[in-house]
Each structure stands twice: as C-alpha cells, then as structure tokens.
Structure 1
Amino acid sequence: MTGNNLNDIGLSERFIREAAMYDNNLHLARVSAQHKDMYRVITESGEMWAEISGKLAYSASVNDDYPVVGDWVLVDRTEDTAGHAVIRHILTRKSCFSRKAAGTGQELQKIAANIDTVFICMSLNNDFNVRRIERYLAIAWDSMAVPVIVLTKSDLCDDLPARLRDLEAAAAGVDVVVTTSMSGDGYTGISQYLQKGRTIAFIGSSGVGKSTLINRMMGEQMLATKEIRDDDKGRHTTTHRQLLVLPEGDGVVIDTPGMREIQLAGADLSRSFADIEELAAKCRFRDCEHEAEPQCAVKKAVEDGTLSAERLENYKKLQREMVFEERKSTMSAAQAEKQKVVDMMGSLNYCRQVLKSNRKYKGNK
C-alpha cells in the first residue's frame, strides 16, 4: 500500500492538533493490526511494521496503555528501509470498544479504538438471541460509538417480521439492517454507512457472516470464511483484529474475532434500557429493586404486558454484573473469588427458603 491519504482513513483535526503538541520529527500513523509485540501501521507513505518504544513500554502499567487496532499513533519514520518504525505516543482515543479479559482478574481488553459505527452482527437462525443483543448494545453505547444491528443470513429465516418485532423493545432507536449472502446485492443496506474518514467495526459471534460481508465490501476475498456448523455454533475464522482500507477511499473497516459471550467491562444501561429506566423513575421508592415493593411502575409494566419479564431480568443481570465488577476492582483476586461464591450461595439459600416456605404453606392447607 502506497500513497495513503490519511484523511480517508479517519485522520481528523482533533488528532492533528494533538500530534502538534509533540516532537515535529514524528509522523502520524494508524494501527491496522497487532501480532504479539509487533504492530502494522499505516502511514502517508505506506503500511509497515512497528514496535513500541522502550519508554512507552516502561510506562505501560496495563494493557490499556498499549496500542490497539484503530489507534492513531506517532512514529519515528514513514518507511521501513532503515528497519521497523518505533511508536512513541498513542493519541487520545475518541471511542474504544472494550470487554473484560478472560479470567478472574480486573484487566480490561481493548478490542478496537476510534470507531464511528459498531455493526452488531447476528445470524437469523438459531444463533438469534435478543438478550445477547441487549448486552452488545449496552457495551457499544458505553464505547462512545454508534451501534447498528446487522441481521445476516436472512435466507435462513422463516419469519423475518417476527424477528424484527422481537427487536423493537430491545433496540429502540437503533438502526437495523437485514442482509443475505445468497444474492449479489444482499449487503447493500450497509453501504449507506460507508464514508471517507469513517471507521466501522464488526462484532458478533463466530460464523454469523462478518467476514463474508467484509469481503463483499472489499470487492475481493480478503478474509477466510466458514459457515456455521449444524449445531449453530460458529467457527472462529478471524483470529486477530485487523483494520482494512475500503476501495475508493470509503473509510475503513475493523474485523474482530467472534465473541459468543462478552463479559462486561463497562456498559451504558441508561441508553440500552431507556424504557426500564424511564419506568423506574415513576416507582414509589427511589431505590426500588422492582421485586415486591408497592407501587412499582416496572413490575406493573410487566404485569400489563408492556414490558417483557425476560428483558427486565436481563437488565437486572447486567446491573448485578456491573456492581460486581465495580466491587471487585477494589478487591484482591482472592477476595473477588470469595465474594463470587458468597453471591452464588446467597442465591441458592434464597431458593431454598422459597421452596421451604412453599412446602410449609402446602402443609398448612
């Protein structure tokens, strides 16, 4: 790749002004891929390998301090004739999609940075799950990017209107695009979001068709694809995050490995569950837990059928996860594991008490 116009791939005045605060001998570049300790970066002269400086590595206390795909960085050269470029600074991110890293620690995993639009992809077969979409939306809104739901493989869906109705409450105010891989124009609905200087990221379970859509956008077979297996569990085709420049300078797209279940690092429930929070403001008690409190507007909505019990339960589940993560951030790893067991046993004890109460009630009848 040569002769890049950095404005076409997302460079804005905001980053130019910040870059001007540093050494004039440094050059703007965008991270397009990461392979262990090495990075691919796009400069005005082409794409090349880069590594972070010793000073940057020394000051990086957590993964959050390292570059991620989509980052704008400052490097010491624009050509690799004299060796790899060195990344000296990471510019302030305008948005960042994150999740909790695997394991029991508190470390976050940055998925991609400086995204304008997040395409939440879900297949219209047995992979379809409204509760998972609610989780993705909560995280997407928290990232500061705009979410768009992309429903793939519409040719496999027997009742598309029913699926769209299922999304009405879960995705109020969010654009929904329906695509198919069976026809040449089956992905044209997403073309309206492509634009010079804009960055789109694809997230979703493995095998839902992300790579197929990106290949169509690129106009060539850039990414390997695999179909969902008979048990509807997708295969992990994409093994690492990568940024691709779209033809004709129509912005860039970031592909990510499939994530069937994504752990919360942060979530914006006020936007993804705005209907419930509006109802909660009408409850008699400000600290209402929407369980057995009198004059609970949320429970009344469930009883009236205007709010699904499943949506309310998922809202409470995500709330509990956020509270647990906030509590865990102040605990040691051992304390966090202990608290997790305590919370679980507390739920079990509650169930035992309910069963015991029911048996007692029946015995007194």
Structure 2
Amino acid sequence: MTPELSALQAIGWPITAADPLPADPVWQQALAEHPHARPARVVEQHRSGYVVADGPDSSFPVDSLPEWQRPRFPPEQRPGVGDWLLIEGEGRRRVVALLPRHTAIKRGAAGEHYKQQLIAANVDTVFVVCGLDADFNPRRIERYLLLVRGGAEPVIVLTKADEALAADENAIAAATGALIELAQGVAVRAVNARDRDGVREALAAWLGPGRTAVLVGSSGAGKSTLTNSLLGIERMKTGAVRESDARGRHTTTHRALIPLPTGACLIDTPGMRELKPTGEEDVAENFADVESLAEQCKFRDCSHHREPGCAVRAAIEGGRLDPQRFANYLKLREEVAGAANKLANRRAQKADEKVLGKALNKRLEDKYGRR
C-alpha cells in the first residue's frame, strides 16, 4: 500500500490494498476521464468555496465551480461535507468533477419554495444525538429517523446519562426501553459524553477504519462533547444549555469532517431546530408498527377515527400503541405527502423548461443555421 493510498483510506476513500480502484464503475469512469486529477474529500463548506483534504493531515482550499454558484442551481447538487471531488493542479488547485454520492442525508430547506439542503454525504452511520435532560423528545427522534434512513444506518445516542442518573436512577432504563420500542430495530446507546473510554466502547461498532459517521441533533445535545471524547482532545467548543428554556447554544457553527484515531471519520454538524421532510422519505418504514395495525382494520380506507373494527384505535385504547406516536405518524405522513407533491411539481416544471429550451434552440437553428 502506498502512502497516498493509506492517506486516502484514512479519510474514507473506498479502496483496498488489493484493488486501488473504487468498486463503483461510475467513479472509475470519472477517474479515467480525468487522468491527471486526484481525489480529495470536502471537510468544510463555505459560501464561495470549500476546504478539502487528501489525507488526515493535509487540507487546502479550493474554489467553487461557477455553475455551482448560479442562483437557480439546486443547492442539494452542490458539494457538501463528505463529498468526494476530483482536483487538478498544484498551488491554486481547481475542481474538475464531483463524484456521485453513495448516500446523502438531506432535509427540506426553510421557506415557502421547495428546496433541499444537504446535511452530509457518503456517510455509513448517522448518530442521532439526544440528551437525557429537557432535550429528550421521542417525537423529535422519530422525525430524525424519518429523515436519515435510507442507505446510512441510524443509531440513537442518548447523552448526559450521568445527569439523568443523578436526577432519577431509573431514567436511563425507561428512556432506552421506550426508544427501542419506537425505533423499530435501530440501536440505542446511552452514554456520558465526557467519559472518553465509555463513549469509544459504546460506539466502536460503527467507527471502524474507513467508515464515516455524522452527528445530528439539537443544540446542546452533546455532539461536540462526543466529538472531543472520540478524538481524545478538547478540539470542539462546548457550552451548557440555557437555564431559562433548556435550549442549547450553537457551539458548532459549520459542518466539519474530522478523522478519528480509530481510522474512521466523523462529521459534526450545527444543531438543527427545523427538520422538514424532502418528500423522498418512507413513512411506512419508520412506522412499521402503525402500518401493520392499519392493515388489520375492518375497512381498507379506515381513517382511524370512529370507524368500527379499527385496529389502530383498539391498540391505542388497549395501551399497545402510544397515542402521541400515532399523532406524530399522521403529522409526518401529511408533511411528507405535501413535500412530495412540491417535489413532483418542481420536476415537472424543470422538464417543461427543458422541452421549451430544446424547441427554442431548434427554431434558432432552422432560422439561422447551426453555428
């Protein structure tokens, strides 16, 4: 294995010593089309450009391609932290290609118009971080799981376990048990984020060499503290939650990819308080228990309100289904359907614009001839 190959592997490049080319044929084609380019990974994203790395200890800035800065260019198609770029040149290096993503964690952007916002790219694991304090909110965790499932494996990480124990020795067991039931097979780990050995042991299964994980959660949940514990040094700023409303302060101001001593990479993200679906989510996968009950209803078009033979209402009344979980299921299903409708309209509009553009070019060619 060459030093260059070893350095790339340390930041997640998907190759092995036996086969120096990535298995993805699209990536192989891109490398063949740019024989003088070399891969680099986006470790920071800024307005006018990016900081990329070609090894754990080698990072440098590159300019954004002009088309990525156009106002109408879809924001989710611009590179984000975790993406792989092909770079050419020495000194002032330039980007020549964005390699296709294997996974992408996205959310709906704020505002009335439909847009998507990329959270992280090419990740294997998403750590959904929630504190066992006033930050603890099963409904928000359900929303996170809805957004992050699909390619990457979600893991729920409950922080501030030491504070929960001080308040109530049964808090961790109760919270963990409830989440295991609603998470539908998703792993749940409770940790004291400041306990370096405990954090590393709890999350070791998802942080092996070559793997990439991203931390998501609200401000003050303990993401930066987890990062410091996994690094073994106090690199990320941390802060306490406000006593007035128990909400955290933004100690992380931008997304950043950080190589870990285990050979994995970790992406820390700013706290997110608004989590809008993109319309591409699978509600049924995240609420398989509710969907299974709905299939047992007497009427296929049961609205689960007052119809006779409703298995969902029976489960709620019998204590087998949390009414708040069911209410959140209905809410998220409606939000996803609304976002999916906006997405379909946007795609149809782009298709119409493409057809009109081709027709205009054809008329110009017929009138003036091909130049």
- Alpha-carbon distance, 1:306 to partner: 0.8
1:161 aligned to 2:173?
yes
1:210 aligned partner: 223
CA distance in 2, matches of 1:152, 1:25: 46
Match of 1:63 among 75, 78, 86: 75
2:358 aligned partner: none
Q: Provide Cα deviations, 1:156-212, integer angstroms capped at 9, x if missing partner.
A: 112221212321321121111111145443313112221111000000010111101
2:12 aligned partner: 10
Whether the 8 Å contact between 2:196 and 2:230 is mirrored in structure 1 is no
After TM superposition, the structure 1 = structure 2 runs for residues 232-247 of structure 1, keeping only pairs within 5 Å, are 232-247=246-261
Normalised to the residue count of structure 2, the TM-score between the two structures is 0.82
Q: Provide Cα deviations, 1:278-327, integer angstroms capped at 9, x if missing partner.
A: 11222233332222223222222112211111110000000111122223
Over the aligned positions, Cα root-mean-square deviation in angstroms equals 2.2
Whether the 8 Å contact between 1:19 and 1:91 is mirrored in structure 2 is yes
CA distance in 1, matches of 2:77, 2:146: 24
Whether the 8 Å contact between 2:67 and 2:73 is mirrored in structure 1 is no
Match of 1:147 among 134, 145, 154: 154
CA distance in 2, matches of 1:274, 1:69: 32
Whether the 8 Å contact between 1:155 and 1:182 is mirrored in structure 2 is no
Q: Give the direction of change, closer, same or farther, for the CA distance of 1:171–1:330 in structure 2 (3 Å limit).
A: closer
CA distance in 2, matches of 1:319, 1:24: 47
Q: Give the direction of change, closer, same or farther, for the CA distance of 1:8–1:18 in structure 2 (3 Å limit).
A: farther
> Relative to structure 2, which stretch is displaced further, 3-12 or 145-154?
3-12
- Alpha-carbon distance, 1:261 to partner: 3.2
* Number of residues of Structure 1 aligned to a counterpart in Structure 2: 325
CA distance in 2, matches of 1:161, 1:132: 19
After TM superposition, the structure 1 = structure 2 runs for residues 1-365 of structure 1, keeping only pairs within 5 Å, are 5-12=7-14, 13-15=22-24, 16-43=27-54, 46-54=58-66, 61-77=73-89, 79=90, 82-83=91-92, 85-142=93-150, 144-157=151-164, 158=168, 159-187=171-199, 188-230=201-243, 231-248=245-262, 250-265=263-278, 266-329=280-343
Amino acid at match of 1:38: G
Q: Give the direction of change, closer, same or farther, for the CA distance of 1:24–1:287 in structure 2 (3 Å limit).
A: farther
Q: Give the direction of change, closer, same or farther, for the CA distance of 1:8–1:125 in structure 2 (3 Å limit).
A: same
Whether the 8 Å contact between 1:117 and 1:146 is mirrored in structure 2 is yes
Secondary structure of 1:20's match?
Answer: helix
Q: Would you identify which runs of 4 or more consecutive aligned residues in structure 1 move more than 4 Å?
A: 55-60
Percent identity reads 39
CA distance in 2, matches of 1:36, 1:182: 33
> Relative to structure 2, which stretch is displaced further, 261-270 or 208-217?
261-270
Amino acid at match of 1:261: E
CA distance in 1, matches of 2:53, 2:249: 29
Whether the 8 Å contact between 1:283 and 1:298 is mirrored in structure 2 is yes
Unaligned 5+ runs, structure 2: 15-21, 347-371
> Relative to structure 2, which stretch is displaced further, 214-223 or 120-129?
214-223
Amino acid at match of 2:276: Q
Amino acid at match of 1:272: N
Secondary structure of 1:305's match?
Answer: coil
CA distance in 2, matches of 1:319, 1:292: 20
Whether the 8 Å contact between 1:56 and 1:89 is mirrored in structure 2 is no
> Relative to structure 2, which stretch is displaced further, 13-22 or 201-210?
13-22
CA distance in 2, matches of 1:55, 1:195: 36
